[in-house]
Amino acid sequence: MASLARLRPSVARRIPAFARAIQTSADTTQLQDVITDHSQPFTVKLHEDSFRAYKCDTPTLDVQVNKNELLKMYKDMQTMRRMEMAADALYKAKLIRGFCHLAIGQEAVSVGLEYGITPEDRVITAYRCHPFAVMRGGTIKGVIAELLGRQGGMSRGKGGSMHIFTPSFFGGNGIVGAQVPVGAGLAFAQKYLGKKTAAFALYGDGASNQGQVFEAFNMAKLWNLPCVFVCENNKYGMGTSAERSSSNTEYFTRGDKIPGLQVNGMDIIASKHAVQYARNWVTEGNGPLLLEFVTYRYGGHSMSDPGTTYRTREEVQRMRSTQDPIRGLQRYIEEWGLASEQELKQFDKAAKAEVDQAVEEAKQSPEPTTADFWTDIYYKGTEPPFMRGRERDEVHYY
């Protein structure tokens, strides 16, 4: 494969001539109103290159926001990052084993998604799933305990990093791209039951070339399912850049007859606004929509990947220093007079304390017992009278 890659022509970013590129700055949204009452919503204007559309209109650039929601989003983004940093430290201390994929740098996607949907909507993603699990009703302790393989984990310590669920969050899935057709199935169920809700099926740019992804696109459009296919384009599929793996890197255009929207995934306000637009699109009977968040991960693909063999340290540092989604929201809050730097530092301290406490509680949780291995094989209440184990005489009776 390496020799084939060398034979390929130059892989400069493939954007058609004269087309405007999406911009991924985290702090280009401008205040439109004079804020006189912090308890009331106010209007801001997104950068003109926050969205690019395919077979649909772009969302309006004028967005109404309010102080309380912006502060809550800041706290949630900071807390999610702290949680992932804690997982990083626990892995390096060899308390977490196996696969572990962190989403540091991509907080505007998970938090923005949650603030743009309802509790009744359905979400499914791949293995970079920890923030989604918490935002969809899980707990930090539940995630950390699951990573540690403890009974207090959200899957009772038997699922690990890639298999965490809530009643409205369907994982955490380890097979590349396999969650996309399952997400289409969730949308089918919503439509079949007559519910005006949406299903969001997330995948990465690395999974975008999987055949089952395109099969899911076809079925979703054929049946006009209320499914939003969300590509988290963090520029690298494992250690391969998007340009080296995909002939078409404009992932929002890949749905054929399905409209698409490309979004600045580093600006939390743009992310939330795009999710609301996408949800309205599919729940109003327009069929599926492709949503591409252009984002960036600071760490490697997983904890076993240093993340510096296929990109430079300077590139990562530049993204951290100039396009960080949390720092971008911090700048909005401070410049618009919603909170001071010192007040936001208190949020940061509270987030660290919350995560530190969750880590300690997770560590205190016991490991699963031998008897626990016989549970969760069948949905509770549907177990057979008995189950055979590894050998003929190893039998467990329910």
Q: What is the mean pLDDT of residues 260-280?
A: 98
Examine the pLDDT at 369 and tell me if it is beyond 60: yes
In this structure, are residues 272 and 112 in contact, taking their beta carbons and an 8 Å threshold? yes
Examine the pLDDT at 2 and tell me if it is beyond 50: no
395: part of which helix (H) or strand (E)? strand 395-397
Q: What is the mean pLDDT of residues 167-188?
A: 96
Q: What is the mean pLDDT of residues 276-281?
A: 98
Examine the pLDDT at 292 and tell me if it is beyond 60: yes
Q: How far apart are CA 266 and CA 24, in angstroms?
A: 6
> What per-residue confidence (pLDDT) applies to 21?
84
Examine the pLDDT at 13 and tell me if it is beyond 90: no
In this structure, are residues 240 and 1 in contact, taking their beta carbons and an 8 Å threshold? no
Packing angle of the helix pair 325-335, 107-116 (nearest 10 deg)? 60
Q: How far apart are CA 296 and CA 310, in angstroms?
A: 14
What DSSP designation does 293 have? E
Q: If we measure between CA atoms, which residue out of 352, 368, 376, 392 comes closest to residue 153? A: 368
3-state secondary structure of 185: helix
Examine the pLDDT at 304 and tell me if it is beyond 80: yes
What residues have CB less than 8 Å from 118, skipping those under 6 apart?
197, 279
Examine the pLDDT at 164 and tell me if it is beyond 80: yes
Sheet holding 51-54, edge to edge: 51-54, 260-264, 289-294, 227-233, 199-204, 122-124
> What per-residue confidence (pLDDT) applies to 18?
46
CA 252-276-170 angle, 5° bins: 75
> Does the domain made of 44-367 have the CATH classification 3.40.50.970?
yes
63 band by pLDDT with thresholds 50, 70 and 90: very high
In this predicted model, what pLDDT tens digit does every residue of 69-92 receive, in sequence order?
999 999 999 999 999 999 999 999
> What per-residue confidence (pLDDT) applies to 19?
56
101: part of which helix (H) or strand (E)? none
> What per-residue confidence (pLDDT) applies to 246?
94
Q: What is the mean pLDDT of residues 49-57?
A: 97
Examine the pLDDT at 293 and tell me if it is beyond 80: yes
> What per-residue confidence (pLDDT) applies to 6?
47
* pTM, entire model: 0.93
In this structure, are residues 174 and 218 in contact, taking their beta carbons and an 8 Å threshold? no
Domain spans, the chain = 44-367
In this predicted model, what pLDDT tens digit does every residue of 111-137 receive, in sequence order?
999 999 999 999 999 999 999 999 999
Which residue is associated with the tokens 């983004």?
77
Q: How far apart are CA 142 and CA 148, in angstroms?
A: 10
In this structure, are residues 138 and 170 in contact, taking their beta carbons and an 8 Å threshold? no
> What per-residue confidence (pLDDT) applies to 23?
83
Best-predicted range by mean pLDDT (20-29, 284-293, 375-384): 284-293
> What per-residue confidence (pLDDT) applies to 17?
46
> What per-residue confidence (pLDDT) applies to 267?
97
